[in-house]
Structure 1
Amino acid sequence: MTAFARALQRSRKEHGWSQENLARKLEISQATVSFWESGVEYPSFKHLAALVALVPEVLPYAHQEELELIRRLLRAEKLAFGGGCSCQGCNCS
């Protein structure tokens, strides 16, 4: 099992979600979550982004390529929104 798979499983359980609960939230199958948690498969970037929105604590365990892409997207968002993010009422900088 990979570090990402362990982190995902731990985080899901800490949230009190079954694999089925998480799958419904992500609009995927329970089998897909099972494959991620066993290390058989790794989420696509689209699914990784949705997953990180639900369980941000797994982000440090993502593959390096995805982390760099997320960093680049965050920098672009800050440029587009005058130094902050696009969240309503957010005060991040």
Structure 2
Amino acid sequence: MNNITRTFAASMLAITLQAGVTAHAAQPETPAQIAAAATLDGNYVVTADGVRLYYKDWGPKDGPVVTFSHGWPLSSDSWESQMIFLADQGYRV
């Protein structure tokens, strides 16, 4: 492949990638769209593609919100003592 062909191919790739990024950025999801895509099923949020995500909702419903998230090897129980403390202090966790 000569330099002209290589430069042309690199330019076309950059233009294609930029067009994809711009198209994706032009259509941000609003909270209403996100809420419409998910439904509640007991203590689970079910996403539009069928994934069930478990959640705990403790504390007053009008309190400031604190969100906890755990990694792969843990469970929601790993945050339990912090969640109890903050819920007792008036936070929604």
Q: Same fold (TM over 0.5)?
A: no
Which protein, 1 or 2, shows the higher relative CO under an 8 Å CA cutoff with sep ≥ 6?
1
Larger Cα Rg: Structure 1 or Structure 2?
2
TM-score normalised per structure 1:
0.25
Higher fraction of helix: 1
TM-score normalised per structure 2:
0.25
